[in-house]
Amino acid sequence: MTYRELAVPGAWEITPVQHGDPRGVFLEYFQAGPFATAAGHRFSLAQANLSVSAAGVLRGVHYADVPPGQAKYVTCARGAVLDVVVDLRVGSPTFGTWDSVLLDDTDRRAIYLSEGLGHAFLSLEDDSTVLYMCSEGYAPGREHGVHPLDTDLGIVWPTVDRAGRPLTALLSEKDLAAPSLAEARTAGLLPQYDEVSAFVESLRP
């Protein structure tokens, strides 16, 4: 298993070693020890989610208030999604920066996003099945979003699916109504870099 830190500090791409034979494939998509070495702290699992999305479904950009925030460890068990992390931490040297990882059932990579970062993905195939391990449970009053098509974010979303067919983005009503990055910042909804850094530091042994 190899770890690569993304352009957004606090986010990693994780590539597992796959063991295949005529029966199929086996892999470990999470290892607590190597994860703690890479991230500098352990991952505490509080909730595990699963979503199934048609091609073109766009979910996010979602984030939670810090503390306690909600770190996520995400992989795609079936199909393919472009998974995106956005630095929403006001005061961060990389504020507004985004990076992406292709999660699919070929390379079977995962992505980790620490507290204070925004998460979104676009499904590139019908029935794409995404698994999320979360450090905190869902708490509606602490959950927020930024519009994934905000031009200030400038996320380059794919325009074709896995088979090369044109994609039309499909968003939930909640995501369609989400504020832009600038609006969320003005409203004081975004995490503060210093507060997030202090909280993440408190998780270190």
pLDDT averaged over the chain? 97
Given the residues 19, 112, 119, 132, select the one marked as catalytic.
132
The percent of residues in the chain predicted with pLDDT above 70, rounded, is: 100
Active site residue 132: yes
For the stretch 64-90, pLDDT in tens is 999 999 999 999 999 999 999 999 999
Predicted TM-score of the model (pTM):
0.95
Confidence of residue 21 (pLDDT cuts 50, 70, 90): very high
Is 73 annotated in the active site? Answer: no
Please say if the pLDDT value at position 199 is more than 90: yes
Which residue among 62, 119, 144, 147 is the active-site one?
62
- Per-domain residue ranges for the chain? 2-192
- Please tell me the class of the 2-192 domain: mainly beta
Structure tokens at 101: 């990882």
